Structure 1
Amino acid sequence: MNAPSFDAADWRKSSYSGRNTNCVEVAESAVGNAMRDTKHRDLGALTFPGPEWRAFLNTAQSDPRK
């Protein structure tokens, strides 16, 4: 199964990204979400179906190490 294309997606920088380091961008589509390294966009992106993306966000937001 092929991953959805995010070539024309509206990418936005994560609000949790640092000013000059640890920068990630996220994009949304009707079929899922994607995340990529801002400094290495040419390396592609990790794509996630909607349910997995929501599970990831829920886990990240409930992480007690924040």
Structure 2
Amino acid sequence: MNALEEQIAHLTRTVDDLSDIVARQERELALLTRRAQMLMAREAEREAQGSGGVVVGDERPPHY
């Protein structure tokens, strides 16, 4: 009986630890998703303004 109680206690602690890890990963994923959306919106705005900043071939950058 004691062995079963020890095993249940160990499994309960493991489940709690895994739950904490999943909750932390969910928060990190939400943060990264918001950052990716922000960067995509910023890049779309930059492309809409026509200032992509890509140098093609022998073209000199505007500061030359």
Counting strand residues as a fraction of each chain, which structure ranks higher? 1
TM range (shorter): under 0.3
Counting helix residues as a fraction of each chain, which structure ranks higher? 2
| TM-score, normalised via structure 1 length | 0.27
